[in-house]
Amino acid sequence: MSDNLSSPILHRDLLFAPIDIDLHLERIGGGNETEVYCTDDRRYVVKVKGEHSGSVQEMLSHARMLRNATRRFATVMGARHRIPNYFLIAANTKGDAQLLALQPFHEDARALFQLDYTQLSLAERVALAKQLLDIIRRALGAYRKRGWMPDLYGRSSGSNAERTENNRWYRFPWRVWSFVIQRNLLRANNLMLTTGQDPRVILVDYDPVLRGKLYQRIYYALRALLFLRDFLLIGVMVVTGVVPNPGRASGHPAKQQT
């Protein structure tokens, strides 16, 4: 679903030629490194790494790396919490090869960041908590065995300019605060709740952490430690329906899809 229902933001790029005849797709959100669009028939979400392009061989190598990471994370999440991911290499406006990632568009799904937990019944909160605890168990299992886990949290950006600004060096203190304080599991952008008779919590971001090994060790260790906080918040949510809302965590669309 679009960030702005009354005036959808259309973006034109030759990159969309393999999937859209008029080259225009609606922007529905953005992440830490990604711009997110949906196809005209609203069947797929299209994710574009805005600054990552190169030769066909380079993009093919990158696509294989992402495919392998996606398979690992999908295996960790299990059938109930994962969605399919497809990769496509196309030529952008500059003539460079660029990678697109496609996912099914769950239009009525809501990011947990957006969810009004007070509107859920006790039974719905209990069912949601069970799914989140299962996801935490799976993530911690992967961390103990392999030293990594999927990114369950994520950040969102309202525009390419906002994402660029948030990634500048002087925004580092804000990124640390967002990482440690703001992005708890109940306010995640990378987890979405589907609708229907059997709502599912699904992971919509399968990108690996590509920093150095030391950074990854610190990142994953902190994430594992912060699950203790999430356990507490989930318990409070079940009993009271109250979840801290620290404001938008500027990596993914608020609605999906995501």
DSSP 160-171: HHHHHHHTSGGG
How much is the pLDDT for 229? 94
- Host H or E run for residue 136: helix 122-146
Read off the pLDDT of residues 185-235 as tens digits, 9 standing for 90 and up. 999 999 999 998 999 999 999 999 888 999 999 999 999 999 999 999 999
At residue 40, the pLDDT reads 92
pTM: 0.85
Task: Give percent of the chain above pLDDT 70.
Answer: 81
Q: What is the pLDDT of residue 251?
A: 41
- Provide mean pLDDT across the span 83-97: 93
Strands (E), 3-83: 9-12, 24-30, 34-38, 44-54
Q: Please give the mean pLDDT across all residues of the chain.
A: 86
How many Cβ atoms from other residues are within 10 Å of residue 142's Cβ? 19
Q: How confident is the model at residue 62 (pLDDT cuts 50, 70, 90)?
A: very high
- Residue 30: pLDDT band by 50, 70, 90 thresholds? confident
Question: What pLDDT score was predicted for residue 1?
Answer: 40
pLDDT of residue 154: 82
Ranges of each domain in the chain: 9-104, 110-240
Closest C-alpha to 138, from 87, 198, 201: 201
CATH topology for the 9-104 domain: Phosphorylase Kinase; domain 1 (3.30.200)
pLDDT at res. 177:
66
